Amino acid sequence: MQQLLEHTDRIPGMEVVFMADKEPAVQSWIRAHNNPAHLFGDMSIRLYKPTAIVNKCMKSVESLGKQSTEGLAITRRGDVDIYTCGFPCTPFSAKGMCRGWDDENSKLFFCTVDTLKSLRPRMFVLENVRGILSNHGEGMLREKFHQLGGYLVWFGKALSPSHFGVPQHRERLYILGLRQDALKHPTMTERVLKKYMKAFINAASAPDVQSWVEFVRDAGWPIEADQHGNDVDAKLAAIEIVASGICCLPSRLCTIHPCKCAGCDRGKTLACKWRKNHRLHMLTKRFKLLRHRMLQATRTIHKDKTLMSPESYFIIAARKGLRVNQSMTSPSKRSTLHILSQERVLMKKDVILDLSQSLGRNALRDDGLVGALACGCTQMFAPYFGKSLSIQQCMVLQGMDPSAYDLNIVSETAMFRLVGSAMCVPVVGTVIAAGMQLLRAGG
């Protein structure tokens, strides 16, 4: 479900009939910002009638600060004109198990289809990752939509916020369905609809897009380097470049990753919890792969005498006065940053690194765009600034205005999950606007 759409209750004549989500944090957010007539819970336990759906209606118990279930609510055919839904993408995403239609979470797509059969809205918009089309997925989708009967369905090419002026690379498949008897021209064919949507999206697309740094700055939520003058950690500033450039050999712990704990300050490194964890990390397959890549980069530098081994990211960051030690607490993330500092220029302003992804999955971008914001968007790290993106900056990069929401409704962790799971507002708004232009006035 699109939990973070702009306030639809502010649009004249627009009413939110129902919204549904089983997560308590999402339900709290919906109550505070979307004001639906009914708030439903888990859609997998919904009852489907020929011309209605029956679901448990959730109600908040203010005095107890908890949630309870209050009776059943019925939504009938004709109550809903526009239906939007983003069913789980984990069965089809490369970040998930890639089990496709065999995954239990994929069953919610069939609940979506059953809802459309019962309510038959004038228009529906569905969103998911492009991977849903693989492994005969497109055939499955077309078959189910054909069974609805009386709908024109458009499968758009993967649309990204970067096509609409928002500097985020987040390609998603949008599916638009229009009930033929509700169209201004009921005889329209899918071929004509395809041409119309292509022209509409091209007209709405932005020819140029700002760098994400400028975009969040102009929106009023700039990301700034944490400069703190003479308070640079003395141990970091005094580090010398290791000749080989290799981090964490078996005979030597990370000298480029100094620890600030009391045990290390007293010279008792064996008492250091971080170093103990790092020794365990050195035994993992992931670390061995990273070290192999580091060795390859070092050999390349040594073969070409005109090349000079670049400084470690942590040394450069210390000179710039960045408190990187406070944000880089994971040994694997520190190793990743150090290896990338030997292969790429990390200190460009536009560089953004998704620490939740592996190096081989486009974890680093330096083209001015931010990678796809997912549930783990807490780990979008900007090396130049020595900081991760805040929740407000992530909302801006989803096309939202953080000042229009009460961010204290749910925890910060839940907020990041909400923002990462939401549809980008300008993209889904464009698809909805295109469909509404084809619908005739009235029922």
Distance, C-alpha 119 to centroid of its chain:
30
Q: What is the per-residue pLDDT for 387?
A: 87
Q: Token pair for residue 88?
A: 């789980």
Q: Token pair for residue 43?
A: 């859609």
Instruction: Yes or no: say if 418 and 3 are a contact pair by the CB < 8 Å rule.
Output: yes
d(CA 28, CA 10): 19
Burial of 252 (0-12, 13-18, 19+ CB in 10 A): exposed
Instruction: Yes or no: say if 160 and 168 are a contact pair by the CB < 8 Å rule.
Output: yes
Residue percentage of the chain with pLDDT more than 90: 26
Q: Which amino acid is at 151?
A: Y
d(CA 209, CA 250): 46
CATH 3.40.50 fits 8-208+419-436, yes or no: yes
Q: What is the per-residue pLDDT for 279?
A: 61
Residue 7: how many other CB atoms lie within 10 Å: 14
Tell whether the model's pLDDT for residue 115 goes beyond 80. yes
In the chain, where the domains are located: 8-208+419-436, 214-416
d(CA 345, CA 225): 17
Residue listed under structure tokens 């993330």: 333
- Enclosing H/E stretch for 51: none
DSSP string, 63-77: TTTEEEEEEEEEEET
Any residues with CB less than 8 A from the CB of 323 and at least 6 apart, and which? Answer: 226, 228, 386
pLDDT tens string 209-268: 999 999 999 999 999 876 554 444 444 433 333 333 334 433 344 444 445 455 555 555
Q: Which amino acid is at 427?
A: V
CA dist list (Å): 199 to 207, 275, 343: 14, 58, 42
- Enclosing H/E stretch for 163: none
d(CA 114, CA 107): 11
The average confidence (pLDDT) of the chain is: 77
Q: Token pair for residue 203?
A: 């007209």
Q: What is the per-residue pLDDT for 427?
A: 93
pLDDT tens string 76-86: 888 999 999 88
pTM: 0.77
Instruction: Yes or no: say if 162 and 169 are a contact pair by the CB < 8 Å rule.
Output: yes
Strand partners, 84: 125
Q: Token pair for residue 409?
A: 């409704």
- 3 state SS of 211: coil
Residue 281: how many other CB atoms lie within 10 Å: 19
Residue percentage of the chain with pLDDT more than 70: 70
d(CA 56, CA 71): 6
d(CA 155, CA 144): 13
pLDDT tens string 151-178: 999 987 789 999 999 999 988 889 999 9
Tell whether the model's pLDDT for residue 366 goes beyond 50. yes
- Strand ranges for 206-363 from DSSP E: 352-354
d(CA 313, CA 338): 6
SS (H, E, C) 111-147: HHHHHHHHHCCCEEEEEEEHHHHCCCHHHHHHHHHHH
d(CA 285, CA 273): 21
